[in-house]
Amino acid sequence: MPLKISLLGSAVSIILGFLVAYIVGQNSVDFFGLPLLIFCFLYSYIVHWIFFIHAFIFQTEHYFDATGSFTYISLSVILILNSIFSPSFESLNPYTYLIGIMVILWSLRLGMFLFKRVKDVGQDVRFIEMKKDFSWFFMTWTLSGLWVFLTYVAGLSAMTSINSIENMSYYHFIFMITGFLLWILGFVIEILADNQKKIFRENPSNKGKFISSGLWAWSRHPNYFGEIILWLGIAIIAFPSMEGGEFLGLISPLFVYVLLTKISGIPMLEKSSDNKWGLEEDYIKYKKTTPILFLKKPNSN
């Protein structure tokens, strides 16, 4: 990748993250003289840059996905501890515990799953050329920091805003319960889809075949559908705590949707699948009858 494009990508990623943090964090509580949401923004990037140094020196991508998970988990833990001990909170913030624990559970599960998958395969083909180029590799790690922050920003808004601990009412709890149930649904769908595909691939008789059973008969990418749903659930939980610029935090589930369906997720996998099975009748029929994302009960015939 040309140096100018890599540098521009890194700069745009940092500026975009900062602008979102600045707008959403207008009502953020103080964290050692800094708005807490600005700290979250900085933390997301700095953690990735620290791990990038190790990754570039040793020319490895094995910890790329694990770094994202570590950032989610460690940031959630920091916010939970801050809610407990910080004198800037007049009372404990219930959003911090609920959303923080939800994100920790999701990150632990997905991080271990992806890390094991890369270890089993031996390498991630996306990084073969990229990791040789400092600026390109750095841009990718910086974009991962942006991914963590924008994906989490709706939840972070509720976890860091002074509005979250004022005027709590039954109205807030209705959104909490609704969002939590939606998060559970998405979490279960993602786990089932990933495990079904893992079991399918581990069966030697399925070598060279595509999966079209279980949830994969309902959608060509049910794991991504589950991920979008669970982040939508978190946004719903956070919604009643928002006001003014904080509503920009609702970009979170939209960002996840666009990222997975238009950029790095589904388009890459669809292209790879088409290259492998695009001429097979069963695959052509599967594509015609199975939605690309949203779940639809397959025809019994």
Q: Among residues 93, 102, 98, which one has the least CA distance to residue 163? A: 93
Q: Is the pLDDT of residue 14 over 80?
A: yes
Q: The whole model's pTM is what?
A: 0.91
Give the model's pLDDT for residue 124. Answer: 64
How confident is the model over 141-164, as a mean pLDDT?
93
**Positive or negative CA dihedral for 28, 165, 178, 239?**
negative
DSSP string, 162-193: GGGGSS--HHHHHHHHHHHHHHHHHHHHHHHH
Delimit the domains of the chain by residue range. 3-289
CA 179/CA 183 separation, integer angstroms: 6
- Residue 60 banded pLDDT, cuts 50, 70, 90: confident
User: What are the φ/ψ torsions at residue 6 (nearest 5 degrees)?
Assistant: -60, -45
Q: Is the pLDDT of residue 117 over 80?
A: no
Give the model's pLDDT for residue 299. Answer: 79
Tens digit of pLDDT for each residue in 199-250? 999 999 999 999 999 999 999 999 999 999 999 999 999 999 999 999 999 9
| Three-state DSSP state, 279 | coil
